[in-house]
Amino acid sequence: LFRSTANVRAEPNKRSAHAGKVALGAAVYVMWAEPNGWVRVRSAAGDVSGFVHKSLLTETAPPAATLDLATAD
């Protein structure tokens, strides 16, 4: 299953409310990582911030990352 967006969550868990969506390949700024594998991010445009799971991120250059949505739920 391939997706074009990933859900950004308000809290660092899958059951948390949606805080927004980020497009496939969009640059995000990593703010910090939680011990449970969730990462606090802010979109490069600054319009979305919240948590995504680290499995959706691919490092391109510190501190930016992009979403790899081939494995997104």
| pLDDT tens per residue across span 21-62 | 998 888 899 999 999 999 999 998 889 999 999 998 887 655
Q: What angle do CA 19, 20, 25 make, to 5 degrees?
A: 135
Output the pLDDT for position 26: 86
> 68 or 73: which carries more pLDDT confidence?
68
pLDDT of residue 13: 96
**What confidence score (pLDDT) does residue 2 get?**
58
Residue indicated by tokens 């979305």: 48
